[in-house]
Amino acid sequence: MFTLENKVAVITGGGSGIGKAVALIFAQQGAIVQVIDLNTDQANQTVSEIRQAGGEASCITCDVSRQTAVTETFQQIGKIDILVNSAGISHIGTVETTSEEDFEKVFRINVKGIYNCMYAVIPLMKQHGGGVILNMSSVAAWVGIPDRFAYSMSKGAVAAMTLSVAKDYIKENIRCNSISPARVHTPFVDGFLEKNYPGREAEMFQKLSQTQPLGRMANPDEIAKLILYLCSDEAAFITGSDYPIDGGFIKLNN
């Protein structure tokens, strides 16, 4: 089950965190993985780990916020069976403390980046008989989270774009779903704590972990396994859906 044998999978943000975990598990299941990332060193590391494990992968450095670059990159790849839009950034701030520059940066990467990738991949999927798109939303799209104004905006947009694409291309055999993780322990989290809470990293990590009713953050592999299912043929009857993977955050935090 859940084989991706000989399917070409493009994973944005595949150099680290959730994207890297997805790249590794997809390769393990037989996919030909294309890692798209702005950080060439991290992307190369992911590819190296896949190849060392006997998988097939390549990496391409690309800024997903630039439509021309994305379109050229996807055309270079050619046939694409699966697109996982994992690239994204976070931001802390209320509407009053979010600068126009920061708002536009979050929008450019988290919203426009996903739009650019879907814009580029859908003609290729139509040409080759269909495909699967998985977008990274967040619990922030569904629940008010303090100091996450711009980030929540971007993830709400992702959820809406997912529904629109699923509706528009259902007859083209293109499925489009999203997932909404709560906090996931990635290198980003460690860097965020080191930058914002020097000397208090362990304390704040525990505090953030406890916001999930399960009492911990997810690990990237747990997120990747849900994505694997939704992108596999076993999920062929699923489109236009969002799947929370949140340790009970949305439903049990009242």
Length, in residues, of the chain: 254
Q: Report the Cα–Cα distance between both ends of the chain, in Å, rounded.
A: 37
Nearest to 39, CA basis, from 16, 58, 65: 16
Positive or negative: CA dihedral 18, 115, 228, 212: positive
Nearest to 151, CA basis, from 194, 105, 119, 193: 105
What count of Cα atoms within 13 Å lies in the side-chain half-sphere of residue 202? 1
Rounded to 5 degrees, what angle do the CA atoms 166, 1, 185 make? 70
Nearest to 154, CA basis, from 96, 246, 88: 88
Nearest to 14, CA basis, from 69, 74, 61: 61
Tokens of 35: 């890692």
CB-CB contact of 183 with 217 (8 Å): yes
Active site residue 151: yes
Catalytic residue from among 115, 119, 151, 229: 151
User: What strand order describes the sheet that includes 242-245?
Assistant: 56-61, 32-37, 8-12, 82-85, 131-136, 174-181, 242-245
Tokens of 4: 């991706």
| Residues identified as active-site | 151
